Amino acid sequence: MGSLKNENEVEGSKDAILYVNGVLKLLPDGLAHLTLLEYLRDVGLTGTKLGCG
């Protein structure tokens, strides 16, 4: 999910820019419907929990 690009390719992009554990990841515009929790789970990070408040 998401492609990695260097900083020059990021400029002018409409992708969401995320840093996950210090690594630049881009969330393509077509996947913008995902919540941050869903994205983190999709990349295998399960420590973040859904809460209500």
Residue 26, strand partner residues: 3, 17
> What are phi and psi for residue 17, nearest 5 degrees?
-100, 125
Which amino acid makes up residue 7? Answer: E
Give me the pLDDT at residue 1, please: 47
Give me the pLDDT at residue 5, please: 55
The closest of 7, 8, 4 to 20, measured between CA atoms, is 4
pTM of the model: 0.59
Radius of gyration, CA atoms only, the chain: 12
Mean pLDDT, contiguous 10-residue spans, the chain (53 residues): 54 79 86 84 89 77
Listed by start position, the domains of the chain span 7-42
Please give the Cα distance from 36 to 44 (Å, whole number).
13
